[in-house]
Chain A
Amino acid sequence: DSGVTQTPKHLITATGQRVTLRCSPRSGDLSVYWYQQSLDQGLQFLIQYYNGEERAKGNILERFSAQQFPDLHSELNLSSLELGDSALYFCASSATSGSTDEQFFGPGTRLTVL
């Protein structure tokens, strides 16, 4: 158990809908990272927050947004969902702001868009 929690574990929704994925980092970790894992694109970095502020951005679509709250939990919002958004979404956390730290991954949220 990495200490990173993600909810829900599974999510099934329809095209055009909006969903929110939630992540709680390990106790004491200030950085939260979001990744998308799909069969065709592999494991891709989406976005990082550090202590409430956006720190780095990857291949995140404009339909997606994230935020980190004062208690350091983070939410990834996916809107106007398309079939291609079906994927496993991971959250990871690390102690500091750099991605050179070891990142601890949550169990993931499997999103299925029908």
Chain B
Amino acid sequence: AQKVTQAQTEISVVEKEDVTLDCVYETRDTTYYLFWYKQPPSGELVFLIRRNSFDEQNEISGRYSWNFQKSTSSFNFTITASQVVDSAVYFCALSRRQGGSEKLVFGKGTKLTVNP
């Protein structure tokens, strides 16, 4: 089975706190891609990052960082010094192969609320 699990349904933090959003995936593919998308209250989905299965280097982009660990099938997302504008639902996704085509499978999402 190929699936993405975001165990944290909702997280609430106070501004300037660091917060980590967990993502655990299952796949039998040796080559796959992982993604994070952000859905702010306005509703659109915004791409944050894509990582392929051969690149286990952690990535940092400003206040955002991602920790990819194949050994634990996890691709966690950390926001440092959170801000109110970070309030959104964050989705982790996995590209999977089925019948020769590729499909994107999303987790259920984690709703992050950053309070002032």
Contact = CB atoms under 8 A, between A and B. Distances in A.
B43 A56 contact: no
B108 A105 contact: no
Interface in B77-104: 91, 95, 98-99, 101-104
A102 B43 CA distance: 18
| Majority DSSP secondary structure for residues of B touching A | strand
**Which secondary structure dominates where chain A touches chain B?**
strand
- The 5 A-B pairs at the shortest CB distance, nearest first, are namely A56-B101, A105-B45, A99-B102, A43-B106, A100-B33
A19 B101 CA distance: 28
B22 to A, nearest CB: 16
A42 B50 contact: no
A100 B43 contact: no
Contacts of A55: 101
Contact of B103 (A58, A90, A104): A58
A100 B99 CA distance: 15
Contacts of A105: 37, 44-47
Nearest to A98: B102
Contacts of B45: 90, 92, 105
B52 interface: yes
B98 to A, nearest CB: 8
A52 interface: no
Contact of A102 (B50, B103, B105): B50
